[in-house]
Chains A and B, each alone.
Chain A
Amino acid sequence: MALPYHVLKVCYGIVFAARGSNIHSFDSNFNPISVWKYPVKQQETNGEKAESETPAPIVEAEELPAPEGPPAKKRKVEDGEVVAVSEESKEESKEDTTEGQTETKTESQTQEVNRRSRRQKQKQKTEGGWAKNNKAVLEKPFVQGMYLTTDGRHLVAITGSDKTIWVFEHDGAGNLKQLSQRAMPKRPCALALTPDDKTILSADKFGDVFSLPLLFTPSEPTAAAAASTIASEVATPEPTPSAPATPAIPTPPTTDVAKAQSLSVKPQANELTVHTLRNLKALENQKRCLERQKAAKLAAALQASQFEHTLQLGHVSMLTSVAVAVHPSHPGRTYIITADRDEHIRVSRGIPQAHVIEGFLLGHDEFVSRVCIPEARRDVLISGGGDDDLFLWDWVSAKLLGKAPVLAEVKKALPSAEDADKVTKIAVTRIFDVQQGEKTQIFVICERIPLLLIYTLTSANTLQHTQTLSLLGNPLDVEYLKAESKLLVSIDPNTSSETQEEEASNGGVSSILALSFDDSESSWKVTPGGLKATEAAEEESISLSPQDLQKLLYTTESLRKTNKDDE
C-alpha cells in the first residue's frame, strides 16, 4: 500500500505535496528537494528527539519539544506515552515548573484516553501485521491542508487529529523551516490568510473562526498566561462569568481560567431554581464536585492554549471552508466567507468588524464543502458540496447567478451505464480556478470519482462545462504550475486496480499527474512530467489498513446528514 500525495500546494516553481503526515517538496520537474517529517517520538527517547525512520534527503524537521505536563485535551497518544505537543518549542521545555506536579496525573489521564481511543481498537485489530516502527504512523496525524502566504515566504499547514496549525518559513527553494506549532482548542477544518499575510483565520469543527497571528514567539504568551492566571486568581471578584469571548478581544487564556474559576466558585443553579428533591440533591452533589474539580480545572486552563487567538465569528455547525475576499468594487473592504455543513455560506465583514454579518448565500440543499473565488473574477463565488450542482454567486449582494450540473456530467462521463447508475450523489472536494489568458477555467473533483471536470466561467456569469477527463484513480487535489502552464492532479494509487496493472506495464502509475492545455484541440491532456508512483514509494510504506486509509482520505461524503435522530 502506498500513501498518495493527498494535498498539493504550488509556490511559484516549487511543488509542496503532503503525503500522510509529511510534506515533500519538489521542483517543477518533480525532482525531490526536501521532506519535512512530522515529528515522531519514541518511547525510549521520551520524545527528546524527532525520530526519522529513514534518512531523508534533507530533513528540516525541528527537534521536538519534550512532552511535558498533562496532554492537551484529546491529544494523540501512543502506548501510554503522551505525544502532547503541548505548547510550542524548546524554550518552553525549560519551564519545567508545572511538570513535576502534573506528572502522575498525566499517566492516569493517558490511560483513560487510551481506553477510549478508537485508534486503540484499530490497533488491536491489526496488531499482528504491524512492523514496530510503523506504530508511529497512526499516531501521526495526516496533513489536512496547506496554505501559502501571498509572498510565498510562509507555508501554513494543518494536521488533523492533533488539531495543530504549523507555520513554516519557506526559503523560496523548497526548503521548509518549522517556525511554530499551535494546537487549537478544536480541530481546524480550513484556514485562510488575510491579504496582509499577518493573520491566520482558522475555521474549526465546532463552527468558530479564530484569528491568530502568523508569526509569534512562544515563550512570551506563556509568561503572559501565567501572569494573567495569577492575576485572576488573586482578583476576580467581579462576577462576570467567564468574561465572554468577545469578538476582537483575545479569548484565551483569560477566558479559560476565568471559566474554570467562576465555575468552581459556585454552581449556577440555586435552591430557588431547582424544584424537585432529586434536583436539589443533584445540586448539592454538583457543589461538592465543583469544589473538588477546582484545582484540576485551574491547572487544565493553564495548560490550554497559551497563545493568542481571537474568536472572530462562529456558526452552530461544522465549518468546511473559509475564504478572505475583497470585492473589486471596494478594494479597501475585506470580507470573511465561511461555509458550513448546514448548507450555509456566510459573508461577514473582515477583521475588525467580523461580528457584522453582511449576508448569507442560501440555496444549497446539502452540505457545502468548498467555496472558490476565482483569482481573476473576485466578484463571483463558486460553491459546491453534497448537491448535484455547483452554485455560482454574486457574493457581495448575496444573489444566486446560476448553477452548473456536476452529477449529470459525472454520469455522462462514466464508462458504463451500470457505473453511472451506481453514482447517485456526489461530494465535491475541490474547486480550483486557473486563469488562462482571458479564460477562467474551473476544475472540479468529487470524492471517489475518477474524473476531472472542467468548466469555464464566462463573462456573462455562467459556468459552462467544457471537458471531462477520465483519470486512472481517484483525484485528491488539484494545483497549477503557472510557469509551465501545467495542471497537477494528485491521484490515489490504491484505486482502480485493473487500470493500474495496465499502466504499470507502461511505466508505472502516476501519483501526481501533469496536464497541459492543448491549443489545437482546445482541451486538457495528460503530459509526461508527473510524478510516478514508483518514484514516490521509495520510503516507508503505510501500515494502515486500506479501510483506515480510505477513512482518512475520503472524509467529505461523511458530511452528509444521514441518520437524523429525532425527539
Chain B
Amino acid sequence: MSEPKNKRQKREDYRAALRANGVTELPRKKFYRQRAHANPFSDHSLIYPPTPEQMDWASLYPHYAVEEPIAQKTETTESEETTGQELSAPAIRKLTKQVEVADIGCGFGGLLIALAPVLPETLVLGLEIRVSVTQFVEDRIKALRVQNEEQKLYRNIAVLRANTMKFMPNFFNKGQLNKIFICFPDPHFKARKHKQRIVSTTLNSEYAYVLRPGGIVYTITDVPDLHEWMVGHFNAHPAFERVSVEEQEADPLVEIMRNETEEGKKVTRHNGQKHVALFRRLEDPQWPEDVSA
C-alpha cells in the first residue's frame, strides 16, 4: 500500500512547490488526475454562497474588482430594522461587471482558455465538480495570468468548484447569463442514471432562469444518443428553441467549442463524431390571466 501513498505524496509535493513558486509555470495534468465521474446527488463538502449577492467574485476576478469595498450602509437601510445579521458579514468587494458566460463541467479548462482572448470584455466562469480538476484549472489560469501579464490576458476567466445541478441559483441571478456551454457532458448511459444527466426537463428550467431571453445554450457531445437526448429535451422545453444550422455555423464560438476543449481534442484524435446543438432562450410566456384579459 506504499505505492498509492507515494503517489499522493508526490502530488501534494508538486502542488505545494508550484504554489510556492507563485504559480508561474503551467501545471502538469498528471498530478491532478481524478476519476471521471462525480455523483451529483451526494452532499459534497461544497462551498457556495447562500445567495448570489454574497458570492465573493473579487477573489476570482481580482482585476475586475471595484477598487474599494463599498460601504453597504446606503443599500441596507431598508432591511436594517429586520436583523443585523446580514450586516455582520464582511463587506464583499463588487465587480465592475458580472459573469455572463458559464462553462458547466469545464473539465481541464480548454474552452475557458480559448475563450479568454475571444471574449476579452466578458467574464467567463468555468464550473467543475471534481476537486483536483478544478485545482488544475485554477493553477493553469494563475500561471497563464502571470505569463501574460503584459498583455493582460486571462484575467476574465476563472474556475469554481460547484455542483451546478443543485446550486446554480446560488451563484447567478435571474437572467444574468448570456451563454452557457455544456461540452461533452458525462453521458450516463444506464437508464437509471439518466436523472444524473446535466440536461433534463427540470434542469432546463433552471438554465432558462439564469439565462436572459436571447441567451444561448451551446451543447456538444460525441455520443449520438446523448445528443438526441439533449436536443429532445431542449426542444420539448417551452423556454428554448433550437438555433438553425446556418446561424450555428456562423457563430465563431462553435468552432472553438469543437476544437479547443480537452474532450474535443481527444475525440478528434480518435476520429469520433462531434454533435453540436445550440438553443436560444425565449421570452417567458405571458401569464394566462394577462392573455385572457
Query: Hey, which bits of chain A sit against chain B, CB under 8 A?
Result: 206-208, 239-247, 249, 259-260, 263, 266-270, 272-273, 275, 286, 311, 313-317, 330, 332-333, 342-344, 346, 348-349, 352-353, 355-357, 359-360, 362-365, 400-403, 462, 561, 563-567
Contacts and interface: CB of A to CB of B under 8 A. Distances in A.
A361 to B, nearest CB: 9
Contacts of B232: 240-241, 243-244
B255 interface: no
Contacts of A401: 79, 82
Interface stretch (B20-28, B43-51, B145-153, B242-250): B43-51
Contacts of A343: 50
Contacts, number: 148
A266 B203 CA distance: 26
B187 interface: yes
A286 B193 CA distance: 15
Contacts of A349: 287
Contact of A244 (B191, B224, B226, B229): B229
B241 interface: no
Contacts of B187: 268-269, 273
Contacts of A249: 236
A246 B201 contact: yes
Interface residues of B, number: 59
Interface stretch (B59-67, B106-114, B164-172): B164-172
Contact of A344 (B44, B81, B169, B273): B169
Contact of B228 (A241, A342, A561): A241
Interface string B215-228: 00000001111101
B214 to A, nearest CB: 16
A348 B82 CA distance: 26
A356 B205 contact: yes
A356 B44 contact: no
13 contacts: A241-B228, A247-B238, A268-B189, A269-B223, A311-B201, A316-B165, A332-B288, A342-B167, A353-B238, A362-B50, A362-B170, A365-B50, A564-B44
Contacts of A242: 191, 194, 229
Contacts of A360: 169
B284 interface: yes
Contact of A207 (B81, B202, B271, B285): B202
A566 B39 CA distance: 10
Contact of A353 (B50, B131, B165, B288): B288
B2 interface: no
Contacts of A357: 174, 205-206, 208-209
Interface string B165-192: 1110110001000000000000101010
